[in-house]
Chains A and B, each alone.
Chain A
Amino acid sequence: MKPYYKLLPALLPFVLFFAGGIVLTVLQSLGMMNPLVHYTSMWTAYKIVLTHSHFLVSILFSFYVALVSSTIATVLGTLLAYTMWKLPLRLHAKTVVYKIPLVLPHIAVAFITMIFLSRSGVFSSLCYHLGITATMEAFPNLIFSRYGVGEIIAYSIKETSFVALMAVSVLMKFDKRYLQTARQLGAGEIRIFFSVVLPHLKETLTTTFLILFIYSFGAFEIPYILGNSSPGMLSLQVYDYYFKHDLSQRPVAMALLVILFLVSSLLAYLYFKISNKLDKGGM
């Protein structure tokens, strides 16, 4: 008989607080546990969420921001990892500086993005001196933009480092001699990257992409500093309805969270499926 009881300490946070928290979110979205809620039907909160366009816009907007930032991060991170890996071995220790964004707290990254990208910020001043823009107004408004540019860039900064980290760990196990062989056979650099290196990274990149997508879809701190609430990220809507409206509106916040949970769980399921396959496939 296997000592399954050994799992008990981990079940404490998982069942009690995590699973328990999710269950409570669902219950509260149905209007329960809240004496101030007088809904005629359990599903009223969901009806409200699904019929008011600004919620749907929020969900789509969050999707868009997550997609764009994760894609940018994956592309840039891979290129970064590849470039660093190709460097001679003695320089490898010095590349550690790319890990800096990983250590930065999210609110710090949001602040740095703001001072660089705001109309009166560092990049704008640079553009002025380079002659690209003539005035402050000529520089596009990136921070308070309705296209979520600020959030996308802030997420991309942190996420690129993460992708690079993941990619480098895979590349480290890859034999560089494959590259030499391909080069000897006459393949160009680009061809080598796409046909020899990339297939190796495919699964890691997919799982990393999924993790980053889930994260940027539902996170709060960066949009809170850089974002607007119209349209807003889903997390900002939840914050608004939970902290700034009276208690009878809470089920709406909970319903939004349940939707967030369902979408994230689906993607998480994909993530675990692929990463488990990776482990089994012996690397």
Chain B
Amino acid sequence: MAGLWFVFLFPLVVLVIYSFAGRWTFPSLIPDTMNFRTLTYFKANGYKILTHLGSSFLYSIVAVVLSVFYSLVPAEFLSRADFKGKKLVESLLLAPAVLPVMTFSVGIHIIFIRLGLADTHFGVALILSVYSYPYMLRALISGYKTIHPDALVCARNLGAGFWQILWEIEIPMLLPALTAGSSIVFLVAFSDYFLVFLIGGGSVPSYSGYLFPFLNSSDWSLASGLTLLFILLPVLLFVVLDLTVNRLYRKWM
């Protein structure tokens, strides 16, 4: 158990140490000099860092919204209906997340340019949603399977309309699935580098794009600090989401 914690947390600890390291050369086991250069950099470039984080956040959220839009109704259908070729359809719909991203994104790039979607936040959110919606679809299918269809029949018999059913029954019961799906889609979109670079063309700020040159440089201290920041946001999100959904759930149920 202790071994487990050590193995998985040690790399992060090293990153933290590197963030405060000045010169740390072979074969020292701890940095030769330490300084707060990384923190100074954060403060001096705070605006830029926040803009990039915010931009990544923005297109990731839109990607989540899009994925819900794509997946909600089809998930309901696929969770209940049974027809010939259902497995085929389901598999096909899940394919974009299974196959390598480059296979379809590089091909469609030119169309994005012609449609004016390249170099825009929406274009980036769009392409990210294409390869991440399967996670939401899968989550929602499982989620729908936990809702007994009779509950909906009951509600309809009592006079509830489509939107009312959706808002008051389905969505609350789907909340765990929605949370799970949203977390994955958000994480995938937020961490992505290639698609944002391809479709964003440098015009759409992204934290991954901001971080990238540092990873290739010899400035491991700054790179470590910025990487930790990169990891922090999704982790925080997961924690917040987990807490709020659990609290909401307990209130509603």
Residues on A facing B (Cβ under 8 Å): 2-4, 6-10, 12-14, 17-28, 33, 84, 87, 91, 94-95, 97-98, 100-101, 103-108, 110-112, 114-116, 119-122, 124-126, 128-129, 136, 211, 214-215, 217-221, 224-225, 235, 238, 242, 253-254, 257, 260-261, 264-265, 268, 271-272, 276
Contact = CB atoms under 8 A, between A and B. Distances in A.
Contacts of A219: 100-101
B170 to A, nearest CB: 14
Nearest to B17: A122
A7 B107 contact: no
Given A14-B96, A105-B231, A136-B26, A218 B215 contact: no
A129 B26 CA distance: 11
Interface stretch (B45-53, B73-81, B146-154, B244-252): B73-81
B18 interface: yes
A112 B81 CA distance: 46
Given A6-B76, A14-B96, A115 B18 contact: yes
B107 A264 contact: no
Interface residues of B, number: 75
Main SS class of interface, B = helix
A95 B4 contact: yes
Contact of A107 (B1, B14, B93, B215): B215
Nearest to B68: A9
Given A25-B106, A103-B235, A129-B29, A218 B100 contact: yes
B57 to A, nearest CB: 14
4 tightest Cβ-Cβ pairs between the two chains A and B: A218-B100, A21-B104, A25-B107, A105-B191
B135 to A, nearest CB: 13
A221 B137 contact: no
B194 interface: yes
B120 interface: no
Nearest to A23: B107
Given A13-B70, A116-B11, A257 B103 contact: yes
A97 B77 contact: no
A238 B102 contact: yes
A133 to B, nearest CB: 9
Contact of A17 (B81, B127, B208, B235): B127
